[in-house]
Amino acid sequence: MLKDKVALVTGGSTGIGKAIATYLASLGANVVINYFVGPEEANKVAKELSDTYNIKSLAIHADVSNYESAEKLIKEVVDTFGKLNIVVNNAGITDDALILRMNETQFDRVINTNLKGVFNICKHAARPLLKSGYGRVINIASVIGRYGNVGQVNYGASKAGVIGITKTLAKEFASREVTVNAIAPGFIETPMTQKLPPEIKEEMLKHIGLGKYGKPEDIAYLVGFLASPLASYITGVVIDVDGGLTI
């Protein structure tokens, strides 16, 4: 379905990003895995994808929060593959605290990675995407960006901003048939959420309609759909994948 397409997944070596990269590779896409830390893991994932799905995959280090680093990342992708078709902005961090205790550094770190990082990647990827003849941007937002959460003013603001970027770029890119959509995950089992105290996880479970946590693959399958020709008439939307958490 995505044979010969070139996909970039930021934060693609672990958790949701790894699941996304794996599923896109299974659909035939050549996959670039961007990482900030953990080169061994990123290169291992890239090799596994190449060997398993008979596609081309490589890992590239870049700090998406840095404008020049993001520019070099996109340039390396295009120089290597000759094009770029699919961008999945998945890289993100948390640094939680009530606003009374949150310091400026905590706020800036999360905004710079989660929000400015999406701007940086989209800014530099815009030209090759618009020239590609087949372009998809899929931003990983969060239900927190739509509904808020105590102790996550930085994270909520960053993900709300990602939704704003998504809707704006959907309008800017529409004339070239490049679609831009966002996915808002709920509580997904990843290394990040596994660090939460058991009592918080138990309390969260009470509010999930389906009575279970999501898997990274639940996000990956939707990314694959939005990246495919099946979703060619969908743009500017935000889709919650939360098991009924926000009903």
Q: Which residues are catalytic?
A: 155
State how far the Cα of 37 lies from the Cα of 96, in Å rounded to an integer: 21
Tell me if residue 11 falls in helix, strand or coil.
Answer: coil
Q: Which amino acid is residue 15, in one-letter code?
A: G
Q: Which amino acid is residue 198, in one-letter code?
A: P
Task: Kindly tell me the burial class for residue 106, based on how many C-beta atoms sit within 10 Å of its own C-beta (0-12, 13-18, 19 or more).
Answer: middle
Strands 86-89, 57-61: pairing kind: unpaired
State how far the Cα of 247 lies from the Cα of 244, in Å rounded to an integer: 5
Tell me if residue 191 falls in helix, strand or coil.
Answer: helix
